């Protein structure tokens, strides 16, 4: 059986969890937070999520984990058969990560500390987000799924990228970023209604108080130092 290591407040943990649930694969969860010595024994960079396979292989980095799961358990495919169409799906995933999620993550410390985002940082984040908006507007179809008629890994990946965008970029910049990509907000709302999404979200909400407490403790320790 697969063991999924990490914590439910992590969008990347939830991304992998959604894939496992969608493919109806048996797995168990092991609650573990970033930066711990325990995590470093299974994750080279000390990051979550990590999976341990039935054979005892530890695999980290969410995109690598997702590809491993897809290749190992292909019965319920999350990529198109056509190589070109698969490339489009991966292109959407990469752009969403680089130009939607990563700039939004820059705002997390300000959100948790309750401090104002410096205008220089806000301007840089807006610039990168605008690049992502332009690219995703060109690539995403939402007909009804991100890449077209087939539900793919891009739907799961972008949905969990958007949790970071909505939680931090939209709130800290007072900007409804998802609404800038035609069709994205409606698709995102539809994704949130699935049984799997709601299960994952319930677990995320249950984990958030403990996670926030740990983050605030880390911020206080850093400030004290």
Domain spans in the chain, listed from the N-terminal domain onward? 2-76, 83-192
**Residue 93 confidence (pLDDT):** 97
> How many Å apart are CA 11 and CA 16, to the nearest integer?
9
Query: Domain 2-76 has what CATH class?
Result: alpha beta
Confidence of residue 225 (pLDDT cuts 50, 70, 90): low
Q: Which CATH class is domain 83-192?
A: mainly alpha
Please give the sequence-ordered ranges of beta strands (E in DSSP) within the chain, or none if there are none: 2-6, 27-31, 50-52, 58-60
pTM: 0.94
Q: Is 149 exposed, middle or buried (0-12, 13-18, 19+ CB in 10 A)?
A: exposed
Q: Which of 96, 102, 56, 74 is nearest to 188 (CA)?
A: 96
Mean of the pLDDT values across residues 128-150? Answer: 98
Contact (Cβ atoms closer than 8 angstroms) between residue 2 and residue 200: no
Taking residue 96's Cβ as centre, other Cβ atoms within 10 Å add up to 25
Q: Mean pLDDT across the chain, nearest whole number?
A: 95
């Amino acid at each position: 059986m697969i063991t999924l290591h990490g914590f439910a407040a992590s969008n990347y943990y939830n991304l992998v969890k959604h894939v496992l649930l969608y493919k109806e694969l048996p797995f168990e969860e092991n609650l573990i937070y970033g930066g711990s010595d325990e995590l470093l024994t299974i994750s080279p960079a000390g990051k979550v999520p990590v999976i341990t396979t039935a054979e005892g292989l530890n695999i980290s980095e969410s995109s690598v984990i997702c590809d491993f799961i897809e290749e190992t358990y292909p019965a319920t495919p999350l990529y198109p058969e056509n190589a070109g169409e698969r490339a489009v799906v991966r292109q959407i995933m990469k752009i969403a990560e680089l130009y939607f999620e990563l700039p939004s993550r820059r705002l997390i410390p300000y959100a948790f500390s309750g401090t104002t985002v410096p205008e220089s940082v806000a301007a840089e984040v807006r610039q990168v987000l605008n690049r992502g908006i332009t690219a995703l507007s060109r690539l995403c179809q939402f007909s009804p799924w991100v890449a077209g008629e087939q539900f793919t890994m891009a739907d799961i990946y972008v949905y969990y990228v958007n949790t970071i965008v909505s939680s931090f970029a939209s709130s800290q910049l007072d900007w409804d970023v998802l609404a800038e990509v035609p069709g994205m907000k409606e698709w995102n709302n539809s994704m949130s209604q699935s049984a799997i999404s709601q299960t994952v979200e319930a677990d995320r909400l249950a984990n958030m108080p403990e996670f926030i407490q740990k983050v605030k403790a880390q911020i206080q320790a850093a400030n004290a130092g």
